[in-house]
A and B are shown apart, each in its own frame.
Chain A
Amino acid sequence: MRRYRIRKDESCILCLRCSRECSFGAIEVKDGKALLFNHEKCTDCQRCVTFCPTGAIYITEDENRFRENSVFKDDDIKEIILQAKTKGVLLSSMGAQGKNIPIYFDKILLNASQVTNPSIDPLREPMETSVFIGARPAKIERDANGKIVDNLPPHLELKTPIMFSAMSYGAISLNVHKALASASEALGTYWNTGEGGLHESLYKYKRNTIVQVASGRFGVHETYLNTAEAIEIKIGQGAKPGIGGHLTGKKIVGDVSKTRMVPEGLDAISPAPHHDIYSIEDLAQLVMSIKEATHFRKAVIVKVAAVHNIAPIASGIARSGADIIAIDGYRGGTGAAPKRIRDNVGIPIELAIASVDERLREEKIRDRVSIVASGGIRNSADVFKAIALGADAVSIGTAALCALGCHICASCHTGKCAWGIATQDPKLMERLDPEKGAEHLVNLVSAWTSEIKEIMGGMGINSIEALRGNKMALRGVDMNEKELEILGIKYAGE
């Protein structure tokens, strides 16, 4: 399918760097001195553009379009032709691209102090961005001597309310895991292994690691469960609610095969359901068996995709014994998902956070669990709004990958990532320096944290925990009454 067109201008010095950088075979060298462009192989990942020393290369949308039609767009026709030829389910990656599904974060405005309540200067005053996530005891208990009984359930302490989302070893390279792990250590937050197991070289980051248990149970064993501060049971993810994982055989090589315990070169499947979970009671059983295996010292997270009945689902999870609910919204990313599912299934995270928070408060079980939101968080304002809507913390995946060089070309499933992120090709993996990557991640999250402090100061609050579920800090624009009702916020001007 030709989507893009590669061009060069007269400033090209024929250094052939672009052809060396292109991992998709879109730029070839002819007779050692001329460039041959295979436009149909280009994914617009911008690697060649970034590395061209003279800025001679251009990638544009192919201007040869199908005749304009108000119903069948260019992509629609191209996909029909592809499926007519291949009989295949369309496979893509990264987050949903449903063009008419609103991003509610963009329709929400924040408040600030004026005259009657003074704002705070975060450069002068201390600002608390630490959050504790996990179950909270219903009341403070004291023993006979008046000493506080220290019976806190296991919880996670985050220096900033931003964690890194689950991205599996196999889907992304070991260097990315290294960067995420060491950045988490430096930031005092957590990274998540995803469902592909944990490489032994990363065991040392135990105190900043969340390990995941998914339906494929890849890399799950007693040591794995205990080499983390929390264990996440993945039921679903925002990019593909209701279906399992699929890792292309091209990415199952060497240590990925060993860590997952699946054969090299064969596509690996994570079944759609956990075959031992058919009810909340079954979920409770898995939660408790993980707690048994970890001596009741680790928090258990249950991750679900934001779907239509997310509020009662979250209520069930809260009653299953889990300490934290992670909700991944419609726009959440992935390393591979059927395109129709990615773009058509699930609901935006903003609505899910608000309705879950509301439901758990109504049922008086909000303190039994913390809520972690993810799925298309792009900047510190999104983090701030998610917390004000009712989340305790957020996770970022796509944004973190962008800090490492990702240009969201949505080709993760090919295993040929030119930026060395979503690949297991040793030559491509070298392109990402984990130390430099970690530095970028630390910079990004630190910058967001500073911005969050500034917004907090402007609002006159000095602790991020005071913001959780504080919907008076938000106003909506361009929304109907139903949307405002679900979000629990007022219209701007009210």
Chain B
Amino acid sequence: MTEESPDIETPKADVAAEPATPEPPAEAIAASAPQVEPAGEPPLLRIEGVGKSFGNFRAVDRLSLDIRAGEFFALLGPSGCGKTTLLRMLAGFETPDEGRILLGGNDIAQVPPHLRPVNMMFQNYALFPHLSVRDNIAFGLKRAGMARAEIATRVAEMVSLVRLEGMEKRKPDQLSGGQKQRVALARSLARRPQVLLLDEPLAALDKKLRESTQHELMELQRRLGMTFIIVTHDQEEAMTVANRIGVMNAGRLEQVATPRDLYEAPHSRWIAEFIGDVNLFEGDAGWRQGNRLTVAIKDGDTITVGEPRQPVTKTAVCVAIRPEKVKLSRRGPVSDAANTHAINRLEGVVSDVGYLGGLTVYKVKLDSGIVVRSSMANTARLNMDGYLVGQRVVAWFTPDDCMVLEQ
């Protein structure tokens, strides 16, 4: 990356060369985010104050959420956050203790699973071992009382959709993991559900297969125009496939946003730490100048940040900055008259270098004792400009790349 080379030191050039840095501040991203459905249309699925407890454990805590038709929505969260319980309530395997689940305007909270126009793809696929691929896919169609000829057509259509031609007569134990996954997908899509629920659908696949399958899923969802709700604990997966992500923690939704908003404009410190990697500086909000806010962080340094989305009311705040937006240089950027105070410069010593192939992650121990992480893309094969442990560097970043979060 150009920032690493000592000969280019004008911050403007650097910012322009950094593609990941959004030119508009984070708040503007939200407004420009692509909308799946025009706002105002009633949502396909409305979850209203739904709660579920198991004994004393509150799995889902009065949660409300709207999902629009045609959306690919991801429920993301650490294990035990209630995302699977929520999905099982949508499928009908659990009954909510309170609240309503409206699908196309009808409350389905108490409707048993076999009468709901939704289907689920199970984490372990739950293929019927005594039935062939064809009979697995046809299972739900037979229950629906479809005519024989129509079932045959639909099954053939599904088989070609998931590219399993020639496998129709096989039993599940004669299939590979990826093929089983596709049979499960075909089976759950065969009934043309209004909503398809996917419970960690790719967890059992290896990394390479998972990545290609993610793209197949997205492609399929776009082509069918169906509404998909996926539950996952893998944030990269959620970011890749979903239009919108709902991050759950302890039975509540922490934030519902597009993948980009979630990463670049998290609502809370918890989200900022949960999604991706982040440097956090605790401090006190200080004076305001134009659309700039100065935060005095512990141990004396100050950081200038862009004006946050909501006005900061508390003085105790937290400045968050993603590692790839922290640049390193030997002498620091040359400041010109316009942004003398605009660039945040923190001096320190490289304490650790982690080479990850595509990226190199540096840990810089600032003079104040705080450790800052900076990750840089290795854009050149023969990179002679890497920093060494013990080297004195300047870590710098622009105010707009900082996020201010109330503690």
Is A bound to B?
A: no
